[in-house]
Amino acid sequence: MMLAERLAGMASAPVVGVAAALLAFLLTGVVRRVLVARAVLDVPNERSLHSSPTPRGGGLAVALVILTGIGWLGIRAMLSGPVVLGLAGGAMLIALVGWVDDVRTLPNRVRAGVQVVAAVWFLYWIGGVNSLRLGETLVPLGFAGNILALLGIAWSINLYNFMDGIDGVAGGQAVVAGGVGAALLTGVGGLSAASALVAGASLGFLYWNWAPARIFMGDVGSGLLGFLFAALALLSDRSGGPGVMVWLMLGGVFIVDATLTLLRRMLAGERWYAAHRSHAYQRAVQAGWSHAAVTCGALGLTCVGAGLAWIAVSRPGWTWVALVTQLLLLVGAYRLIERRNPMQTSGPASPT
């Protein structure tokens, strides 16, 4: 009995988070040395916000720690077999295509195809998504729920990639969202530990990625985090934990910046998928704020969103009020940056 309790304790959320942080910290140092030796570097160009060549692909360390941790949670029966297969299989696909893209650039259609496969794989193993909780209301969606979930997963993967453009911002966001998610999931043991795993691995990496960054996360890490947070949101919603709306609040900073910028670029006739420096956080750096200052500002807004998410969980009737409050706050912050450094559009892209 004592041995069983000890093993169960080893899979508790705080222990998993601390262990993941230590492992990611050590492994990122190893990965950095390998990347430098093999010259896998992000060399500054006209779109860059950094000034010196920096190794990219450090998210490989985060991926290895998280995938190992998911397996451990499965062995300890904290996560069911289908959930482990869905999470680990989808995460492995996203990390793999991200790693290849970090080493050699892949066509957009290849990355998009793998994202769809990863999403379908995950949805298959968890039995699909037939309903979602919106505040206190359970909304039946039928098969359309699977389409909506697939699009949500794909968007989450890409928005994390879009927002991973300055030192520490993606890792810091993952630490806050994962840590608060783990706390809100207390009582849903396996998912709480999985969320702590993501937060811990991101924290260990953040030591190396804080401004001035000594290594970049790359697509292997940012895409992985986007996939995992979307997956955790869906699993949480169906397991009696915080609903999808609560997870939207935890990721609100990224969602609002990426979505508003994408829509504005599409309305301007630009190629929305082309590389650019139009996101609000990028324009804030261009306006003169340091990477650390912008990242701290983004994390501060995420912490406010986490507080509103906590209100939504403790008082479900206030969920919509909390969500709208956060949306107004984030749009206001977006507008402040717009006034300081307006978004420039190049007009319709010429055909090639």
pLDDT in tens, 242-260: 999 999 999 999 999 999 9
Q: What is the DSSP string of 16-73?
A: HHHHHHHHHHHHHHHHHHHHHHTT-EE---TT-S-SS-EE--THHHHHHHHHHHHHHH
Residue type for position 294: V
Residue 225 pLDDT more than 70? yes
- Write down the pLDDT at residue 274: 76
Q: Give the pLDDT of residue 4.
A: 37
Mean of the per-residue pLDDT values of the chain:
91
Please check whether residue 206 is in contact with residue 256, taking contact to mean a CB–CB distance below 8 angstroms: no
Length of the chain, please? 352
Burial class (CB in 10 A: 0-12, 13-18, 19+), 105: exposed
Percent of the chain whose pLDDT exceeds 70: 92
Query: Would you say residue 3 has pLDDT above 90?
Result: no
Q: What is the mean pLDDT of residues 206-226?
A: 95
pLDDT, position 51 = 60
What number is the average pLDDT over the span 220-228? 97
DSSP label at residue 128:
-
d(CA 91, CA 160): 14
User: Could you report the per-residue pLDDT of 156-174, keeping only the tens digit for each?
Assistant: 999 999 999 899 999 999 9
Q: What is the arithmetic mean of pLDDT over 64-76? A: 96
Q: Is the model more confident about 11 or about 294?
A: 294
Which residue has better confidence, 254 or 352?
254
Q: Say whether pLDDT at 349 is over 70.
A: no
Q: How many CB atoms lie within 10 A of CB 347?
A: 8
- Structural contact between residues 292 and 167, judged by C-beta atoms closer than 8 angstroms: yes
pLDDT on residue 11: 60
How far is CA 270 from each of CA 12, 45, 90, 265, 333, rounded to the nearest angstrom?
Answer: 47, 20, 31, 5, 24
Alpha carbon separation from 81 to 17, 102, 106, 172, 231 (Å, rounded): 21, 31, 32, 30, 15
What would the pLDDT profile of 110-145 be if each residue is shown by its tens digit? Answer: 999 999 999 999 999 999 999 999 888 889 999 999
pLDDT greater than 80 at residue 43 = no
pTM, two decimals, is 0.93
pLDDT for position 115: 97
Over residues 174-199, mean pLDDT: 94
CA distance 38 to 98: 17
Residue 189 has pLDDT above 50, yes or no: yes
pLDDT at 104: 87
* Whether residue 45 has pLDDT greater than 70: no
Residue (of 277, 289, 290) closest to 344 by Cα position: 277
**In the prediction, which pLDDT does 135 show?**
83
Angle at 174 between CA 232 and CA 299, to 5 degrees: 130
